[in-house]
Amino acid sequence: MTTAAPVPPAPPGCPFNAEFLPPNMRKHVDPAAPVPLRMMAAKGLVPLNPSDMLGVLYMLTYDTEQAVRETAPKTAAGLPDRILGSGLRDEGVQAPVLGWFLGLLRGKDVYAEMLVLNPTTPDEAVADVARDCSAKVAEIIGQNQLRLLRHEDILRNLCVNGQAGPALIDSVCDFAVRSGMHLSDVPQMQAARVRLFGPQAVAAPPDPGPTAEEVIQEFKEEEAKAEAETPMEEGKRMTLTQRIMKMSISEKIKLATLGNKEARSALIRDSNKLVCTAVIRSPRITDGEVLLSAGNKAANDEVLRAIYGNREWTKNLKIKLALVKNPKVPLTVVMKFLNSLRDNELKDLSRDRNVPQGVQSFAKKLLEKKTAPKKEGG
């Protein structure tokens, strides 16, 4: 019985290892491999798909050899359009890689746009670019409501960007104020509050309700009591749920991003699509939570879209089957997944009465086609 070759360690300081690469390509980023092998990759001379190429070049910026470290960014900045155009749009590329490429290519609008639109690109990198990007990129950043409410520095930096038009800034600030965001250090936000609620609103702003930080702290206190085997009173537990209900949209989004599983379980059912989308895109979400959402027939369309658009999640057979059985998932998406299933899985689907009729029929036809005897001489 053969065992899989071990994944080489990441270069010192690199936030991930070479597990994403095909086993025969991992030697090109292995710190213990000969320098010429790593230099080949740093020069872009190794046959890799676009997404893997981006990851390799990023990893090599941490290489122990100075020449390799200096070559990788030069290669990355000069990659052909066919590689960048595909890799920068891929949501499956690691977040640090996309953030690094946004900093590297921030002056090229066509690539900056791809990266700003990619939901995996870190908010911190988008905030950094928002300060001095072109009017076109600023418009795209301003249209991403989830990012704006999730990371306040994006709005702060947009407001000091001389390329961003007044109409865009007014629109973004109006939306932020209506969503419960409070940035007393941003004059444009104060102007928006006056526009929406009158001059008295600045002197006496409305109670924003509980903050994400307050609710997270309460969850921590509850967990500490649970570990000490001191159960929280039922009245207190109810108060936590009630406090979430009283939160502003912007605070719910922060809680969805940074909170624990209990917070996410409550917020995934929120009627606001930005809030439940923030839950499914939280860096802390588990595969088990994703599976529950994938099979939830009442899930928000945006939540399902985030799941079936994620390459890593759809590698998980349980998640894939849950999506196939969910009538809210578009048939075109389901058909693509069905084509990747094995015969026994198709057979089960074709007999499952809990599966939508169209999916059941297509699974049966696909199975018949795959198992039909081939004609001789055909």
Q: What is the CA angle 146-128-88, rounded to 5? A: 70
Task: Report whether pLDDT(48) > 90.
Answer: yes
Task: Report whether pLDDT(234) > 60.
Answer: no
Average pLDDT (273-277) is: 95
Residue bearing the bigger pLDDT, 226 or 326? 326
What pLDDT, in 10s, does the model give residues 242-270? 888 889 999 999 999 999 998 999 999 99
The answer to whether residues 62 and 11 touch, using CB atoms and an 8 Å cutoff, is: yes
**pLDDT confidence tier of residue 40, bands split at 50, 70 and 90:** very high
- Chain-centroid distance of CA 377 in Å reads 50
What pLDDT, in 10s, does the model give residues 167-219? 999 999 999 999 999 898 999 999 999 999 888 776 666 666 788 888 888 77
Task: Report whether pLDDT(326) > 60.
Answer: yes
The answer to whether residues 244 and 262 touch, using CB atoms and an 8 Å cutoff, is: no
Average pLDDT (232-245) is: 68
Look at 100-114, 173-187, 227-241, 269-283 and tell me which has the smallest mean pLDDT: 227-241
pLDDT value of position 163: 96
Domain ranges of the chain: 9-112, 122-197, 211-221+242-285, 286-372
Average pLDDT (101-129) is: 97
The answer to whether residues 46 and 71 touch, using CB atoms and an 8 Å cutoff, is: no
Average pLDDT (19-32) is: 94
Element housing 169 (H / E): helix 166-178
The answer to whether residues 307 and 293 touch, using CB atoms and an 8 Å cutoff, is: yes
Residue bearing the bigger pLDDT, 205 or 361? 361
What is the pTM for the complete model shown?
0.85
What pLDDT, in 10s, does the model give residues 59-87? 999 999 999 999 999 999 999 999 999 99
pLDDT value of position 378: 44
pLDDT value of position 1: 42
CA atoms within a 13 Å half-sphere pointing along the CA-CB vector of 78: 8
Q: Tokens representing 356? A: 């939508």
pLDDT value of position 19: 93
Share of the chain above pLDDT 90, in %: 71
Give the Cα separation of 307 and 146 in Å (integer): 17
The answer to whether residues 72 and 61 touch, using CB atoms and an 8 Å cutoff, is: yes
